[in-house]
Amino acid sequence: MKKQNDELWKLRHSAAHVMADAVKRLYPGVKLGIGPAIEEGFYYDFDFSSCRERSGADLKNHFLTPEDLPKIENEMKKIISENMSFVCRDVSKASAEKIFKKAKETYKLELLKELEEKEVTLYKHGEFQDLCKGPHVEKTGEIRAFKLLSVAGAYWRGKETNPMLQRIYGAAFADKKALRKFLKLREEAQKRDHRKLGKELELFSFNELVGGGLPLFHPKGAMLRQIIVDYITEKHVEKGYHLISSPHILRSDIWIKSGHYEHYKENMYVFEIDNKEFAVKPMNCPGHILVYASRIRSYREFPIRYFELGNVYRHEKSGVLHGLLRVRGFTQDDAHIFCLRQGAEKEIIGVLDFVEETLKTFGFGEFEVELSTRPKKYIGTIADWEEATTALKNALEAKKIKYEINEGDGAFYGPKIDVKLKDALGRAWQCATIQCDFALPERFDLKYTDSSGKEKRPIVLHRVILGSLERFMGALIEHYGGDFPLWLAPVQVKVIPIAENCIEYGAEVTKKLLKLGFRVEMDSRDEKMQRKIRDAEITKIPYMVIVGKREEESGTVSLRSRKNRNLGTLKQEELIELLQKEESSKEFSSVNENDSTL
């Protein structure tokens, strides 16, 4: 949601209040956390540690389950049918404290203590009132299309040292048609959930012995990752980037110098070696800057583009970890472009072209773009920030790219462009980032000599194309539902001998395809052919090559496509030609082939 005054935002915020009212009616004594509107819905956090059921039964430490949601929904419908007005009133902070103290709302009292205002806003409908800035719809009866979706645990205010509350998520829309569409897409999204498919397709896993947010890639997942790595590396070299590599740990001195220590330390893993402090790198930029600073540079060398598939580690809270989409250890296709001030706009346009080309190759045709400006805490001068922001803006406008301004969300050292890809279900995923930085070159005293031999300061563009490879893989899995086009499929062909006496010919075909660079496996299990075919289809292998005595005698194969079923008998050369043609085309037009209902 973009604006609090947006009508849908008001509706969802109002639905959150109605849900909180329903829960309090059903479970007297429950304590309220916070309940905001969010994209496509709302949530509210509850503490059931001292509640009781309306009948009087003690429900201390009650844990909600999905089975509780219909009961809460029915209570919400009663509140909505009462068509009560949402009434706003301004009260003194002291009066609000008395109200919430009497109601034993300890979490609201905590929020009140942190407010500096002498007056606060309360919203009330019926007997329910909440500390809230609003706005809301006029009456509860305006909430016509809603659905409670799930229950989850959530630490109070996101801090792991705080109590664990129970969060109820819901969806709300202006009409039932929009709600039905959302629920249908949500059902499809659950089928495509990369965590579910990651397990089913044996792509990756997580293990408590390793730790949260640290994925283990299985052979098929590692292969998919390598395909992405090979493609993106080849493209960087093709576009004039120089490959470099920097250590996984660096002394804290460099993070102090860069400003990360001051602005980002809570997300860093810091430790000591030989009485000196080190940190596991959360970013790659300081290493790239030191490579630049290793010798005197001339203006004739610009632009200098350094690229690294850099492994970084960030201390994300356990509550926000989410499969491959939010991890603690990940790899960035990270690059830093050192250039002249007057060359920034041209380089930014080049990066935008690179992003568009790459994402379209992987099957993503739609994007959302944001330009994030100077945050409250920043380094550098305002004049440099304005010049950097103008360079980014000019590049977007030169490319005729529509974008939105995201006020105050830039990096601490510079403004940035964020590109969010849109998947087959229309969901946006953070991907590419381009940051224009005048501050770090100043901090590291970076120099070059101009045409007259004078020393001057370069600027640096920080950028990623795919972003986190892990997050990109998660988005890719969900975009295709695990049903990858041939060029991305970890296993492209499954060779299936009809009987034991056909295994030798199957092995011959397998060896020939492997030698040509195709990713092939042979299923030599003592199972019926139909079982083998079914297993290959379930694991979403694009092609099945079936061989029997007839095929062996004629030097042919029977080809079966997962999508188009039987493709008939082909000579081995015809099979190879078909595979090579499809692989080189990087075809992705079949993304929605199985989703005609969407």
In a domain, 525, yes or no: yes
Say if residue 456's pLDDT is above 50.
yes
- Domain match, 425 and 517 both: no
- Domain match, 408 and 549 both: no
Q: What is the pLDDT of residue 594?
A: 38
- Domain match, 305 and 353 both: yes
Q: What percent of the chain has pLDDT over 70?
A: 95
As a dihedral over the C-alpha atoms of residue 519, residue 524, residue 527, residue 529, rounded to 10 degrees, the angle is 60
In a domain, 554, yes or no: yes
Indicate which residues carry an active-site annotation: 285, 314, 332, 334, 336, 416, 462
pLDDT digits (tens, 9 = 90+) for 403-448: 999 999 999 999 999 999 999 988 899 999 999 999 999 999 999 9
Last residue of a domain, one of 422, 447, 480: 480
Supply angle C-alpha 510, 513, 515, rounded to 5.
Answer: 105
User: What is the rounded distance in angstroms from the CA atom of residue 273 to the CA atom of residue 251?
Assistant: 9
Which CATH number fits the domain that encloses residue 451? 3.30.930.10
Which CATH number fits the domain that encloses residue 549? 3.40.50.800
Average pLDDT over all residues of the chain: 92
Residue in the structure block whose two tokens are 């509350």: 165
Say if residue 132's pLDDT is above 90.
yes
Which CATH number fits the domain that encloses residue 16? 3.30.980.10
In a domain, 144, yes or no: yes
Beta-ladder partners of 420? 368, 430
Helix axes 176-192, 469-480, angle to 10 degrees: 110
Tokens of 492: 């492209």
- Domain match, 231 and 338 both: yes
Q: What is the pLDDT of residue 39?
A: 85
Sheet with 128-131, side-by-side order of all strands = 87-92, 119-125, 128-131
Say if CB 56 and CB 40 are below 8 A apart.
no
Contacts of 343 (CB under 8 A, 6+ apart): 302, 303
Q: Is 369 helix (H, G, I), strand (E, B) or coil?
A: strand
Last residue of a domain, one of 191, 213, 236: 191
Last residue of a domain, one of 426, 456, 480: 480
pLDDT digits (tens, 9 = 90+) for 522-547: 999 999 999 999 999 999 999 999 99
Where do runs of H (alpha helix) occur along 203-318?
Answer: 219-238, 252-258, 260-264, 285-292
Residue in the structure block whose two tokens are 């935002």: 9
- Domain match, 117 and 14 both: yes
Say if CB 449 and CB 300 are below 8 A apart.
no
User: What is the rounded distance in angstroms from the CA atom of residue 391 to the CA atom of residue 397?
Assistant: 10
Supply angle C-alpha 322, 165, 64, rounded to 5.
Answer: 90
pTM of the full structure: 0.87
Q: What is the pLDDT of residue 593?
A: 39
pLDDT digits (tens, 9 = 90+) for 22-56: 999 999 989 999 999 998 899 999 998 877 665 55
Q: What is the pLDDT of residue 337?
A: 98
How much is the average pLDDT of 214-242?
Answer: 97
Confidence of residue 64 (pLDDT cuts 50, 70, 90): confident
Helix axes 106-114, 93-102, angle to 10 degrees: 160
Tokens of 66: 């999905």
- Domain match, 234 and 161 both: no
Contacts of 459 (CB under 8 A, 6+ apart): 338, 339, 340, 341, 344, 388, 436, 437, 438, 441
In a domain, 596, yes or no: no
Q: What percent of the chain has pLDDT over 90?
A: 86
Q: Where are the beta strands (DSSP E) in 5-82?
A: 31-32, 37-38, 41-47
- Domain match, 234 and 354 both: yes
Say if residue 170's pLDDT is above 90.
yes
Return the amino acid letter for 459: I
- Domain match, 427 and 362 both: yes
- Domain match, 400 and 545 both: no
As a dihedral over the C-alpha atoms of residue 286, residue 368, residue 430, residue 186, rounded to 10 degrees, the angle is 180
In a domain, 172, yes or no: yes
Say if residue 548's pLDDT is above 70.
yes
Say if CB 283 and CB 412 are below 8 A apart.
no
pLDDT digits (tens, 9 = 90+) for 121-131: 999 999 999 99
Residue in the structure block whose two tokens are 């896993």: 205
Say if CB 458 and CB 446 are below 8 A apart.
yes
In a domain, 486, yes or no: no
Q: Structural domain tally of the chain?
A: 3
Segment among 108-112, 190-194, 281-285, 593-597 with least mean pLDDT: 593-597
- Domain match, 106 and 139 both: yes
- Segments forming the whole domain that contains residue 230: 199-247+282-480
Say if residue 590's pLDDT is above 60.
no
Confidence of residue 589 (pLDDT cuts 50, 70, 90): very low
Q: How many residues does the chain have?
A: 598
As a dihedral over the C-alpha atoms of residue 312, residue 316, residue 319, residue 321, rounded to 10 degrees, the angle is -10
Helix axes 344-361, 219-238, angle to 10 degrees: 140
Phi, psi of 128 (to 5 degrees): -90, 135
Q: Strands 304-313 and 329-339: what pairing?
A: antiparallel
Say if CB 393 and CB 436 are below 8 A apart.
no
Say if residue 180's pLDDT is above 80.
yes
Per-residue exposure over 332-347, b if at least 16 CB sit within 10 Å of its own CB, e if not? bbbbbbbbbeebbbeb
Confidence of residue 370 (pLDDT cuts 50, 70, 90): very high
- Domain match, 187 and 334 both: no
How much is the average pLDDT of 247-264?
Answer: 94
In a domain, 252, yes or no: no
Supply angle C-alpha 568, 570, 573, rounded to 5.
Answer: 160
Say if CB 280 and CB 269 are below 8 A apart.
yes
Say if CB 411 and CB 424 are below 8 A apart.
no
- Domain match, 521 and 430 both: no
Phi, psi of 490 (to 5 degrees): -60, -40
User: What is the rounded distance in angstroms from the CA atom of residue 453 to the CA atom of residue 448?
Assistant: 9
Q: What is the pLDDT of residue 2?
A: 47
pLDDT digits (tens, 9 = 90+) for 68-103: 999 999 999 999 999 999 999 999 999 999 999 999
Say if residue 308's pLDDT is above 80.
yes
Q: What is the pLDDT of residue 57?
A: 57
Tokens of 445: 């005293």
User: What is the rounded distance in angstroms from the CA atom of residue 17 to the CA atom of residue 458?
Assistant: 53
In a domain, 266, yes or no: no
Residue 30 DSSP one-character state: P
Confidence of residue 317 (pLDDT cuts 50, 70, 90): confident
Say if CB 419 and CB 333 are below 8 A apart.
no
Segment among 227-231, 262-266, 385-389 with least mean pLDDT: 262-266
Q: What is the pLDDT of residue 596?
A: 28
Q: What is the pLDDT of residue 63?
A: 79
Say if residue 554's pLDDT is above 60.
yes
How much is the average pLDDT of 253-264?
Answer: 93
